[in-house]
Structure 1
Amino acid sequence: MAKIKNAVVFSLPEHYFSWGTTNASSLLPFLFALFFVVLLVISLSYDKVDYLLLPAATLFDVHQPAVSAPVLLSAETTTTTSVDDDQYCDLFSGRWVLDNVTRPLYSGRRCTYMHDEVACEKYGRTDLKHQLWRWQPHACNIPRFDAERMLRKLSGKRMVYVGDSLNRNQWVSMVCMLESALSTDTKSMTFDGSLMSFKAKEFNASIDFYWSPLLVESNCDDPVHHRLSDRIMRANSIQTHAKQWADADILVFNSYLWWKKPGMKMKVLYGSFEDEKQNLEEFEMVEGFEMALKEWSNWLESNRNLNAQVFFVSLSPTHVWGDEWGAASTQNCYNETEPIHKEGYASRGSDYKMMHIVEDTVAQLSQKGVHVQILNITQLSEYRKDGHPSIYRRYWVNLTDQELAKPNSYADCTHWCVPGVPDAWNELLYTYIISQQK
């Protein structure tokens, strides 16, 4: 399989192309040789998109070239995609292509285990174009998602998504992508507190979600009652959660959303939540985030013998300020039906400092022999202002008359409709999983 990495483009210095003092005739043999090499490459790979890409210096570069208009695929033009062998492939640099042939990957209406907060079609969304966009990397193709192949890869294994509601959003997407390939009597779902577990019985596979929005123990750990005015994390306390995922073969972590509450501080508890007198210290949210990542990193390092394939999903962007894409400043994702086509677009709500903290943590783990793959979904999701539930979801509290009179006041511009954007996240995850040799 291909070596899947981020990419950076190198260019030759200008003087390499200067003819000022160069004898042109002396270059003719070189030019003829170059012509035949190019001709040979084209003849060997005329049916592929073969570009040599090198590892990037950074994972979160938002400076990209301009993108052309979207292309609508038809049955005559679409092809089965694959990552070309022996090439470096930057899966995260690309564009959204409107594909009315292979999208959506499943029916949201028919998904047995759909969650109401992301079931946009069920809750009245009639414009379903957001389901038809496919992520297309610039320099290569990715494998078309094959549910049976994924299930075979997961045979006898346990895959666990660990994190907040956005990670649950991605998990719901994966469950819907897989369960469509299974008969009713070969699949099941169980709920046990913070743990939700989807079973593919025929393959002895388990695809689970574990609610742990701060990764470490916190007062936000109740999967239902977690909307609190103060957020408290317990220092040095990842073990309680970790025992729920320690036996996993594939781990997919995320943790950003709960660290981004404007104006809120994170309180760190030294001791137990049951202590009558609590020892608390207050930190900036980003400092608490660093502390949690340190605990997570220490756990991975001390449990490196688990031999699990580990991923960390990057920040999922929001679309709450319409002026960023040329709409009114009072507008948000409500009524948006098209992606942003300006490549390199980045919202001011995406905290790249936080993502660099993750990048540094992962790099330090790598130096210690622990490999974590960052699934960089941030840039590709930045373009998708059309992909959020907006008002088309179940709300767990009654909306006021004032809110109902102004729909964009309660539009959900944080989570994502499924089918939709999280399917692309899972296709990238799928690419990494099937590329693993063992």
Structure 2
Amino acid sequence: MIQRWHKKKTQLPFIAIIFFFFILCTIFFNERRFQQIHRKHNDVIGVGVHNDAKKPFSSRSTHFTPVVLDRFSTCNSTVKYNGRKAEWDVPLRQYNKQREKKDSCDVFSGRWVFDNTSYPLYNESDCPYMSDQLACHKHGRPDLDYQFWRWQPHGCNLKRWNATELWDKLRGKRLMFVGDSLNRGQWISMLCLMESVIPADKKSITPNAPLTIFRAEEYNATIEFQWAPLLVESNSDDPVNHRLDERIMRPDSVLRHASEWEHVDILIFNSYLWWRQGPVKLLWGNEENGVCEEADSLEAMELAMHAWANWIKTKVDQLKKKVFFVTMSPTHLWSREWEAGTEGNCYNEKMPIEDERYWGSGSDLDTMRMVDNVVNNLKPRVSVINITQLSEYRKDGHPSIYRKFWESRTAEQMANPSSYSDCIHWCLPGVPDVWNELLFHFL
């Protein structure tokens, strides 16, 4: 018996070697498989391939990790944009408007009605989160009529504002505004509309940061703002220091911002204003030598919109997440557009425009058509909040000279207020409150 036992035992090392070799092969196979999946995942959400000469990246470029853009980033050299597009796994097609079902009432078509009984929905001085850029009465605006206008759709009514009802809808959820200073203004409006029903010891807010969060503890809910003026990664993503002479963007990546989007229940995007500032430098994700391409604003915005849309198509389940896109906010820089023969702007304007056919040059139709095609192609994943036409009428709603300016005014400017009037942003309470009423209507 002892002799037989020793004979059997001598076979164990050989079996162990075979087993060990099998384990090594399995680990090697799984590692290769993981790398393939990881590369495919990166391609889908924004690091992936583009059709430079209609070819995918080389293996060397695939493993290249792009340098993160910040306000110190520069282009080593610049060439003209050659028309390349990102090759998304989920391509966008031309949208067929015949597929769209019209609502029984178009809440975006209507008129402004003076209502000093129901409006404003809050007082400027009572909102602890009011911005000095938007607090027009605090900074000397003598008239208050801009606060008392209610949007009245033709043939129907907007849902009446109810902060408690909206908090109930947000219980246990995150709501996030993503975009530029106009979207930040809508976020501040939302905070002013919502904060008064939350006890002081049950609410908190983070200071200036790429992601600013207002938290209501008893609802376990947040209302957040993420600074992302171009939607894609750019050198202007610092929420404070973003005034740069050269704007550089990564046209094939939303990863820096989208890492937060995935865990948000309700997303409200905007993008427009920053594309009105001239050419944009493009630094593709596979570019190792710092060579940028220069594109005009519409070309660059279309690339950014497609990168954003690809993330929506690959990541958004409309049963679990609500996504809204807010259309362009108009400017009122030339009074001759609503009053022929004048040379001013929004300064000293006190009444809305009554002509429902009015359309100012601050709202670019080519840009709107491009955005319309991209966003409509994403339905039903994305709903549109069309603020453009209704805001076009409100030449009286801008801060003009009644806001905090961070740069000192010259004597020449002070003698000519129109020369430094802010006809881009909006006073609060005011027009952005109606944008949030529209959002509430659709939630």
Structure 2-normalised TM-score? 0.75
Match of 1:287 in 2: 299
SS at match of 1:258: helix
**How does 1:161-180 map onto structure 2 within 5 Å?**
161-180=177-196
364 and 219 in structure 1: CA distance in 2 versus 1, 3 angstrom threshold: same
Match of 2:382 in 1: 372
User: Shift of residue 301 of structure 1?
Assistant: 1.0
234 and 122 in structure 1: CA distance in 2 versus 1, 3 angstrom threshold: same
**Quick check: 1:318 aligned with 2:318?**
no
Determine the C-alpha separation between the residues in 2 that align with 1:158 and 1:376: 23
Determine the C-alpha separation between the residues in 2 that align with 1:250 and 1:212: 16
**How does 1:105-144 map onto structure 2 within 5 Å?**
105-144=121-160
Correspondent of 1:94 among 110, 113, 120: 110
**Quick check: 1:418 aligned with 2:419?**
no
SS at match of 1:90: coil
SS at match of 1:102: coil
| Structure with the bigger percentage of helix | 2
Determine the C-alpha separation between the residues in 1 that align with 2:142 and 2:201: 32
Determine the C-alpha separation between the residues in 2 that align with 1:250 and 1:210: 13
User: Shift of residue 327 of structure 1?
Assistant: 5.6
User: Shift of residue 253 of structure 1?
Assistant: 0.2
Gaps of 5+ in 2: 1-96
Contact 2:208 2:239 in 1 (8 A): no
SS at match of 1:208: strand
Correspondent of 1:269 among 249, 272, 283: 283
118 and 310 in structure 1: CA distance in 2 versus 1, 3 angstrom threshold: same
Gaps of 5+ in 1: 1-55, 60-85, 434-438
Match of 1:11 in 2: none
User: Shift of residue 193 of structure 1?
Assistant: 2.2
**How does 1:17-32 map onto structure 2 within 5 Å?**
none
Aligned length: 346
User: Shift of residue 226 of structure 1?
Assistant: 1.0
- When Rg is computed on C-alpha atoms for both structures, the one with the higher figure is 2
User: Shift of residue 272 of structure 1?
Assistant: 8.2
Determine the C-alpha separation between the residues in 2 that align with 1:136 and 1:294: 34
Contact 1:344 1:379 in 2 (8 A): no
Match of 1:341 in 2: 354
- Residues 50-79 of structure 1: CA deviation (Å, up to 9, x unaligned): xxxxxx8799xxxxxxxxxxxxxxxxxxxx
- Residues 161-180 of structure 1: CA deviation (Å, up to 9, x unaligned): 00000000111101100012
381 and 57 in structure 1: CA distance in 2 versus 1, 3 angstrom threshold: farther
One-letter code aligned to 2:430 = G
- Residues 71-124 of structure 1: CA deviation (Å, up to 9, x unaligned): xxxxxxxxxxxxxxx971211000000001110000011101001100111111
Please provide the CA RMSD for this pair: 2.0
Determine the C-alpha separation between the residues in 2 that align with 1:98 and 1:182: 29
- Residues 8-55 of structure 1: CA deviation (Å, up to 9, x unaligned): xxxxxxxxxxxxxxxxxxxxxxxxxxxxxxxxxxxxxxxxxxxxxxxx
User: Shift of residue 364 of structure 1?
Assistant: 2.1
Determine the C-alpha separation between the residues in 2 that align with 1:328 and 1:225: 39
- Residues 351-374 of structure 1: CA deviation (Å, up to 9, x unaligned): 1221221211122223xxx52111
- In percent, how many aligned pairs have the same letter? 52
Contact 2:247 2:281 in 1 (8 A): yes
Determine the C-alpha separation between the residues in 1 that align with 2:286 and 2:227: 20
Contact 1:190 1:198 in 2 (8 A): yes
- Residues 148-188 of structure 1: CA deviation (Å, up to 9, x unaligned): 11111111110000000000011110110001222211211
SS at match of 1:429: helix
One-letter code aligned to 1:249 = D
Correspondent of 1:193 among 209, 225, 228: 209
**How does 1:8-407 map onto structure 2 within 5 Å?**
88-191=104-207, 193-261=209-277, 264-271=278-285, 277-305=289-317, 307-326=320-339, 328-366=341-379, 370-407=380-417
- Residues 317-363 of structure 1: CA deviation (Å, up to 9, x unaligned): 00111111116542100000000011121001211221221211122
Contact 1:314 1:376 in 2 (8 A): yes
87 and 322 in structure 1: CA distance in 2 versus 1, 3 angstrom threshold: closer
Determine the C-alpha separation between the residues in 1 that align with 2:98 and 2:281: 35
SS at match of 1:374: strand
Contact 2:253 2:285 in 1 (8 A): no
One-letter code aligned to 1:309 = K
163 and 272 in structure 1: CA distance in 2 versus 1, 3 angstrom threshold: farther
User: Shift of residue 199 of structure 1?
Assistant: 1.1
One-letter code aligned to 1:417 = C
